[in-house]
Structure formats: C-alpha cells, structure tokens
Chains A and B, each alone.
Chain A
C-alpha cells in the first residue's frame, strides 16, 4: 500500500488542478498496473478482499450490503447476474452513475474474486 500511496502522490503533480487530463489518467493507469501486478504475484488475500467489500464498497452499498446510495448487493438480489458481468462492473464502473471503476485500485483477479464472493458469500 505504501508504494501505491507513493504513486498517487506522483499523480498529483502530474495532473494539474481542474484539468486532470489524459496524461495524468494514463500515468495513473500505467503506474497502478505496475503496482497491482506486484500485488497479483501474491496470492489473493480473502480477508483483505472481504474487508474491502464490506468497508469500502459498503460506503455506498451498506456494511451488510443491503444497499444505500448504491443498490442492494446481497446474493439473492444479484443471482440473475453471472460473475463475468459483475467483474466487469467492478472493474469499469457504470457510466453516469456513482459506481466508479475500481480497475485503478484492484486487479482483474481480485475483481473476479469479489464478484464470486458477492454471488456465493459462503463458498469463499
């Protein structure tokens, strides 16, 4: 996480106020890819990912995922989606809504783990 913080500090100077711009965005994406590929080498950490889901996704979707500003994410609500669709939503967000793309912060493998966890909390 320390390395990620360092990279984001780098972004701050690369992307001037207001404009942000493609350069800054691209820099972020590249930098984060470098950072996440380092993480991806490690095994997925289910406890850290569960914490992310409940605490950080929970900011909008509720700690128990029953919904808030964002919709209900409980398994019974999501069961008509497949894991691939959910993984895509997690990674790329939904345009024109408050759902942000998480690709800058987590790896595709982590997003897929989260999608499966949402659909089958017990199995993970």
Chain B
C-alpha cells in the first residue's frame, strides 16, 4: 500500500506539473476484477503507480495494447470495451458492445480491435481511435479463441458449432473464410508468435485441432487425437487457457484438459513428444519468453501452487505455494522476472525466474490478469 500511496502522490505531482514525459515500455496493468479497476504497475520499479476505476465487471477480463504502448483496450465480461490511456491514467473511451464477452485482439496494424462475445454470439470489430463499430460478425455460437493474425486478420472459433473463421480485413470489409469440422466444443485457442499455427483445445472430444495459416486453404489438423479427457470423463473445475506463450525450443507446451499433466508436441510435425505429470489440473502452462522454463498454475482446489518445468528435461525443477488462488502469471519481456497474481492474498508477487527468490509483493484488490505493455509487439497477445 505504501508504494501505491507514494505512487499516487507522485502521479498527482506529475500530472499537475506535466514535468516528465511518461515512458510506457516497462509499464503494465493488473486486472482487479471484483473492483472493476485496473492497477497501473511499473515493472522496473516493481511498484504500483495508479488505480484506474470504472471498467465494469472484469471477471475473466483481458486486454491488448496499442502499438505505441499508450492505450490498453480492456475486454470485460459484461461486454464493456474500455480504452485506457496509461499516460494520463484515465479512461479515454468506453462502450458496452454486447451482453457477455470473453476476450479480444488488436489487428497487426493497430487500427482494429475485435471482441468475441458469448451473447449474442459472434465478433464485433471497432476502430481503435474512436471505438466506432466497423464490423459485426454474428456466428450463432459462443465465440472463443479470438486472436490476431498477420495480414489484418482475426481468427476465432465457435464453441457450439466447432467452426473456425478467418476474417480478413485487408480490403476494409471483412472477407470470411470458414473452416468446419474443427472438433466438438473448442474451449480456447492460441496462435503462435510467428502467426503461423492456430491451435484450439477441445472439451467435447479427445485432442486438439491445429490450422496452418501459411497454407492457401488451411485444413484442420488433428493433434493428439487419442488423448483428452478420455472415455472416463474427468471433471474439469476450470477450463485451461491457451495463450501464445507456448513455444519451448522446438516444441509447443499445452495444458491437458482434466488430466494432471501438460503435453509437449513437436512444433513442426505437431506429433506428441512427451507428457509431464503435474500437481493438479493445469490452467496456464506458460513458456518463459526464452522457452527454457514452463510455469504452470492449477485449477481449484489446488490453485495455491506453481510448478516450474525445465523444457529440456521436461521435469519439474521447482514447486512453491505463492498463496491462495494463483490466477495468472506474466513474464517480463526477456523473462528475468515473473509477476504472479495471488487473488485471495490480494497481492501481486514478483519472483526472479533464475533463483526463484521472491523480490517484492504489491498490494492489489483481488488481482487476476497481468499484462505488460511489451505484449503490444507480439502477435497473438
């Protein structure tokens, strides 16, 4: 709290004097979901700078950054799309664009922001300057796994119909390519950092489905078809998340559904190369930016624990309990630190990823997602 108060005082002084330009390259935002606010944090100072309030229902909220790392577009569960100016530390604009949203993406050129919606199901695309509606793409289904792809494209998948659509905005009006038969009940998807491979996890059947977006006509590629929740259904207490932090050397790492393990697949052939048993049902399995380590958190009731896996040996090399309800992890751009939100401790905890030493705790109100501005320059984040 001391840091926050000092930060707030510093903010007031700074904004009053307009003395210093604000560099945003090492800043970040932490979602405080129950409070409907975001906490602006400084990665280098390991400190909270300001709290920006009035963003609505932020359960399961996420955000993306403008290419200049000044604006964050925050996607709230209540359908709110809020543009936050992290230089002035104010809400720049806000629209409620649907009844029930799940996430979003920003186009590679930074001009379009897309939101995927559960209700009414589909994707809506907005101008990043004005938040005016540019395109409405109803899908007739809860829509998940929305990502940006190179070439002013968005890719997203339908929970109910098992289709993936590619919306190409090169010509202004979206041109939609529909890929059917992706599998039953896809729950989330990711795109690799090079923008080539789109992978969707399946809840309703075994395995995952990939698309090669470099192909002229991408076709569904079954990954681990004999694997998943199995014939005997495993209860899943929290859907895993698939995020673009998946590449470790030559393999992708993915959380299993229901099973207490993470899966390794060859990045070129998409063939399984191994499994690592874990403490619980994984929620996030996130590769450190260099790919050398994978950090895993778990579903309720084992969500007080993190395991760190070495991506060469595929063995757990470290396990610790940051505290109750570890919801999210975010690495610094080069991976030297990881910031971890521990919701029920009301803390963001910062660890050195080499020594695993805790470096600092920052007070936050029920923190969930942590997003550093370095994401602005990565496809799929």
**Interface contact B185-A98, CB-CB below 8 Å:** yes
Determine how close the nearest CB of chain B comes to the CB of A11; give it in whole angstroms.
8
**Interface contact B232-A100, CB-CB below 8 Å:** no
B185 / chain A contacts, CB cutoff of 8 Å = 98
Cα-based distance from A51 to B203 in the complex (angstroms): 26
Contact of B333 with A by CB under 8 A: no
Quick one: which of B272-303 are within 8 Å of A by CB? Answer: 275, 277, 279-280, 300-302
**Interface contact A66-B232, CB-CB below 8 Å:** no
**Interface contact A62-B57, CB-CB below 8 Å:** yes
Determine how close the nearest CB of chain B comes to the CB of A71; give it in whole angstroms.
10
Contact of B251 with A by CB under 8 A: no
**Interface contact A68-B100, CB-CB below 8 Å:** yes
Contact of A79 with B by CB under 8 A: no
**Interface contact B119-A67, CB-CB below 8 Å:** yes
**Interface contact B239-A17, CB-CB below 8 Å:** no
A73-109 vs B: 1/0 string, CB under 8 Å?
A: 0000000000000000000010100101110110000
Cα-based distance from A51 to B303 in the complex (angstroms): 14
Cα-based distance from A37 to B106 in the complex (angstroms): 50
**Interface contact B232-A25, CB-CB below 8 Å:** yes
Determine how close the nearest CB of chain B comes to the CB of A80; give it in whole angstroms.
20
**Interface contact A63-B33, CB-CB below 8 Å:** yes
B198-231 vs A: 1/0 string, CB under 8 Å?
A: 0000010000000000000000000000010010
Cα-based distance from A62 to B187 in the complex (angstroms): 16
Contact of A30 with B by CB under 8 A: no
Cα-based distance from A105 to B280 in the complex (angstroms): 14
B161 / chain A contacts, CB cutoff of 8 Å = none
Contact of A124 with B by CB under 8 A: no
Cα-based distance from A5 to B34 in the complex (angstroms): 27
The contact sample of 24 A-B pairs, CB cut-off 8 A, is A8-B302, A12-B279, A17-B261, A17-B275, A20-B234, A20-B259, A22-B232, A59-B237, A59-B239, A62-B59, A63-B33, A63-B59, A63-B77, A64-B59, A66-B77, A67-B118, A68-B59, A68-B77, A68-B102, A69-B159, A69-B187, A98-B236, A100-B235, A105-B301
Among all A-B residue pairs, the 8 with the closest Cβ atoms: A63-B59, A100-B235, A56-B300, A59-B238, A101-B235, A62-B77, A64-B57, A100-B236
Chain B residues close to A by CB (< 8 Å): 33-34, 57-60, 77-78, 99-100, 102, 118-119, 142, 144, 159, 185, 187, 203, 227, 230, 232-239, 259-261, 275, 277, 279-280, 300-302, 304-305, 325, 343-344
Chain A residues close to B by CB (< 8 Å): 1, 4-5, 8-9, 12, 17-22, 25, 51-52, 55-56, 58-60, 62-64, 66-69, 93, 95, 98, 100-102, 104-105
